[in-house]
Amino acid sequence: MSRDVLTEIKRLAGTAFDETKVGLFLNELHPGSNLSVPDPWYGPEEGYAEVYDSINKTCQLILEKYK
């Protein structure tokens, strides 16, 4: 997930939040980096392709890891 989603989940879960059950999406691609998925909305059109590429690569790694 992205950092803003993680923050909202922590807020909603309160004391029931379990850090071991969640992780930032891009840590699969860049372990330990704690990067958030960039939001290309306010940038140039090329930003969408870059975000798509990162998401696609991360999904491929997750599929390989858990198949």
21: left (phi over 0), alpha (psi -120 to 50) or beta: alpha
For 9-31, the pLDDT digits (tens) are: 999 999 999 988 888 889 999 99
Cα angle 35, 14, 22; round to 5: 35
| Residues 37 and 55: beta-carbon distance below 8 Å | yes
**Does the predicted model carry a pTM greater than 0.85?**
no
| Residues 36 and 3: beta-carbon distance below 8 Å | yes
For 51-67, the pLDDT digits (tens) are: 999 999 999 999 999 98
The span from the CA of 25 to the CA of 22, in Å, is 9
